[in-house]
């Protein structure tokens, strides 16, 4: 399996899927970004498109696999991006599927776009967990955890969380608690799925 996931052709294939998906994700958030720009301070805009930004982090992480940086600053940046990629992709992948299912359970419509989103977001979480073991992100996972908690705080303090199905608009507090809990679980999953770089080197040298 290591040869498969480390294969450059496989990584390019994932990029061919993730790059258009990331672009589409930002387009999907277009209306909310425009609304936020008109009604909120501009500094809140980066906190709006959660899932596309997670996909962007993962896309950058794949590029770092293809072209590993050599400098200390580059390696540190790579580790941070990879940590953010795993934590946020797992978190928002599960979050989006859960929200769509919860909205449908409470009587909201679930159309073909919702099914498409559930499939794509499940893929986000799965690919992040699969590739975590090939990343050098473990030491940066606490930083990614803090960033994601900050994002949660901003989302629910200023009301810029992703727009919810109409059936869930009276459940914001419960969703906030679920979101924060999911951040903690996703960070733990990222930690467990990743490998200690030193141990990896020791096994390679044997």
What sign has the CA pseudo-torsion 36, 41, 46, 51? negative
Whether residue 198 is predicted with pLDDT greater than 70 in this model: the reply is no
Express each pLDDT in 23-36 by its tens digit.
999 999 999 999 99
Distances (CA, A) of 61 to 56, 81, 93, 132, 157: 9, 6, 17, 10, 30
Whole-angstrom distance, CA of residue 17 vs CA of residue 119: 13
Q: Average pLDDT of 119-125?
A: 96
Express each pLDDT in 33-58 by its tens digit.
999 999 999 999 999 999 999 999 99
Whether residue 197 is predicted with pLDDT greater than 80 in this model: the reply is no
Q: Taking the domains of the chain in order of start, what are their residue ranges?
A: 2-205
Whole-angstrom distance, CA of residue 78 vs CA of residue 88: 15
In percent, how much of the chain has pLDDT > 70? Answer: 94
Express each pLDDT in 164-183 by its tens digit.
999 999 999 999 999 999 99
Q: Of the candidates 33, 47, 38, which has an alpha carbon nearest to the alpha carbon of residue 153?
A: 47
Whether residue 202 is predicted with pLDDT greater than 60 in this model: the reply is no
Whether residue 205 is predicted with pLDDT greater than 50 in this model: the reply is no
Question: For 185, phi and psi rounded to 5 degrees?
Answer: -65, -40
Mean pLDDT, the chain, integer: 93
């Amino acid at each position: 399996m290591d040869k498969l996931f480390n294969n450059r052709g496989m990584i390019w294939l994932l990029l061919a899927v993730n790059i258009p998906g990331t672009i589409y994700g930002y387009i999907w958030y277009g209306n909310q970004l425009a609304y936020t720009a008109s009604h909120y301070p501009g500094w809140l805009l980066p906190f709006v498109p959660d899932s596309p930004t997670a996909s962007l982090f993962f896309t950058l992480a794949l590029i770092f696999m293809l072209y590993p940086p050599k400098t200390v600053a580059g390696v540190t940046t790579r580790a941070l991006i990879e940590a953010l990629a795993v934590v946020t992709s797992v978190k928002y992948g599960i979050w989006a599927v859960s929200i769509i299912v919860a909205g449908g359970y409470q009587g909201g419509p679930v159309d073909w776009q919702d099914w498409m989103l559930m499939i794509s977001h499940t893929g986000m979480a799965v690919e992040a967990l699969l590739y975590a073991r090939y990343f050098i992100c473990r030491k940066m996972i606490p930083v990614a955890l803090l960033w994601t908690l900050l994002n949660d705080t901003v989302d629910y303090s200023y009301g810029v969380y992703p727009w919810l199905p109409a059936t869930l608009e009276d459940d914001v507090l419960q969703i906030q608690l679920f979101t924060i809990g999911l951040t903690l679980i996703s960070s733990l999953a990222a930690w467990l799925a990743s490998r200690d770089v030193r141990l990896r080197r020791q096994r390679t040298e044997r």
